[in-house]
A and B are shown apart, each in its own frame.
Chain A
């Protein structure tokens, strides 16, 4: 929990039980299913990449705990999601379906994010409140602050979640957005998914501090470190931050310590910058397996049920792949559309 005076980063532990956080068994099972879906979307995407059907994949595996845990504390249809490209599980929580994700992977006409214009994993959907982002890093941080300003100005009961990696925190736009959010005590939560590498650059070459969260107090709001492999701890940290934001008390910077199990993208070769031993060791803290272990321990899920669920979700994902693969491509003539308003937008 953040300290009382909010001026130091404090480690959040898993001490709070799911009951104390108001999560029932149905919530736990939904959280698990979403994490599992993200993992299986990843596996399918890499399979499609090897088959030559998906030119570019941005993997999520390893980040499911911090993504689902944090996103779960926002409310669909009311709160705003400002993700970055690794946030498969965030957009699943926000309401994007695997079918829609694969429409983007295959650059299909009905891809809700961009109609096949952007690279895959560049999320966006006005209907779902998922804000479109680009490839330059941290440019979405001032956008998130501006949205939060507008929500506060319009006296909406809305909170903005803004996700990014630890590499993004080196950008000027990150500092500038954090600073503006602090000045105006905006209803926003910043979530750093710290997987220790910005493509190949290790954290020690990115910053001189151990915790990104330590920077929160420099902007006048709390920084919180949380175990990104512990989905319930991530939910707890976010729950506190969202409640604080909704109460008008301003932003929080949450840093989830996590790890990415695959290379940066399908075009990256992570053997050039991390040892296989390191990657394998990190998998011992797989957020999906840790949560399944927790669910079995508290008697919510049987081992056999986990296996059955995996088969069921994989069938759903495979069906979504097939549907998306057979969807129409964008018309070449559409290239020149939507540079400016065409006057018929909703």
Chain B
């Protein structure tokens, strides 16, 4: 076991995979000489060389498109989008090419590739360094979208993503990078894509979340236990698509109460799909209304500290809603 933070976990896992397999190459803006703006690939250029650690021009559509070509021709590219907010020029590649290659060729071609993107707020990133993008991409069949939120999950899921024969969008919440620490086994393990995880067990209500909000929910659940004796079960979605409905529904059916918490704008967010699934599949097991908490429907969070806080759901607010739902 080694204690590490999320950014170190990703660094170490990428390093391990590059050392083990020459087919793994990485490309993106500032990843080579600079070692990545978040230092995820620090030292990689010296160790693996510029053929495998590629500083690209500022062209996100090209980064993804070139990775497609690499994946078509025997490599296992891991592309980095510097900030998820800048992935939008690559939307056409992601929707029209990456996610459809296998389908449109009736299984003849596959794309074993990973696109990593730091996302999310709470880092004074303002409108263009704070966005959540999972809902846009979770909507696309043929693309796997994962959001690991702990060093353990980041390690196991990055291994799974690089090993996967299909394209994976690997979202890393920037605020968790250095904030969240945890033990990671030194021996190899994989966390399968498509499996949610119960991060805290409880009988009174189910709280379903991911990303930074997962940790905020865990904090609120802990206080709720201490102060009110209410036991909230916290389910970490981990994979946005394909969604592990079984783990979510099993928890909700047992507790009879469901709350979904996400950072993205509330309307049409990933939490809307989760709430709809619960309503469809577990309505008669519910003892209260499904509670859905998301960011407000404004374009993005502001730079000012107060504006940022006003956007992000916090532990106090989630605590209040948890208690209200538990007592319903």
Contacts and interface: CB of A to CB of B under 8 A. Distances in A.
B69 A144 contact: yes
Contacts of A271: none
A228 to B, nearest CB: 26
5 contacts: A134-B96, A141-B65, A143-B69, A154-B75, A180-B62
Contacts of A177: 62, 65-66
A341 interface: yes
Given A124-B108, A341-B110, A183 B57 contact: yes
Given A150-B74, A338-B103, A340-B142, A173 B62 contact: yes
A341 B93 contact: no
Contacts of B56: 180
B73 A80 contact: yes
A172 B65 contact: no
| Most chain B CB atoms below 10 A, which of A141, A179, A180 | A180
Given A148-B69, A150-B75, A345-B165, A117 B104 contact: yes
B185 interface: no
Given A139-B97, A173-B62, A132 B69 contact: no
Given A173-B62, A180-B62, A345-B107, 18 more contacts: A117-B106, A124-B105, A124-B108, A124-B109, A126-B108, A131-B109, A135-B96, A142-B61, A142-B66, A142-B93, A146-B66, A147-B72, A150-B74, A176-B62, A180-B59, A339-B142, A340-B102, A340-B166
| Most chain A CB atoms below 10 A, which of B62, B69, B141 | B69
B129 interface: no
Interface in B51-71: 51-52, 56-57, 59, 61-62, 64-71
A115 interface: yes
Interface residues of B, number: 42
Contacts of A135: 96
Nearest to A148: B69
| Most chain A CB atoms below 10 A, which of B62, B71, B96 | B62
Contacts of A176: 57, 59, 61-62, 65
Contacts of B93: 139, 142, 173
Interface residues of A, number: 45
A132 B68 CA distance: 11
Contacts of B159: none
B57 A118 contact: no
Interface in B81-106: 89, 92-93, 96-97, 100-106
A342 B107 contact: yes
Contacts of A117: 103-104, 106
Contacts of A126: 105, 108-109
Nearest to B50: A184
B117 interface: no
A191 to B, nearest CB: 17
A176 B89 CA distance: 11
Contacts of A48: none
Interface string B4-46: 0000000000000000000001000000000000000000000
A229 interface: no
8 nearest A-B pairs in the assembled complex, by CB-CB distance: A146-B69, A142-B65, A115-B106, A176-B62, A150-B73, A146-B66, A338-B107, A341-B165
A146 B104 contact: no
A153 B102 contact: no
A146 B85 CA distance: 24
A114 interface: yes
A291 interface: no
A131 B142 CA distance: 18
A338 B97 CA distance: 14
Contacts of A124: 104-105, 108-109
A149 interface: yes
Contact of A153 (B57, B75, B96): B75
Contact of B62 (A114, A179, A340): A179
B280 to A, nearest CB: 19
A342 B102 CA distance: 10
Contacts of B109: 124, 126, 131-132
A146 B70 contact: yes
B59 A136 contact: no
B97 A113 contact: no
Interface in A138-191: 139, 141-151, 153-154, 172-173, 176-177, 179-180, 183
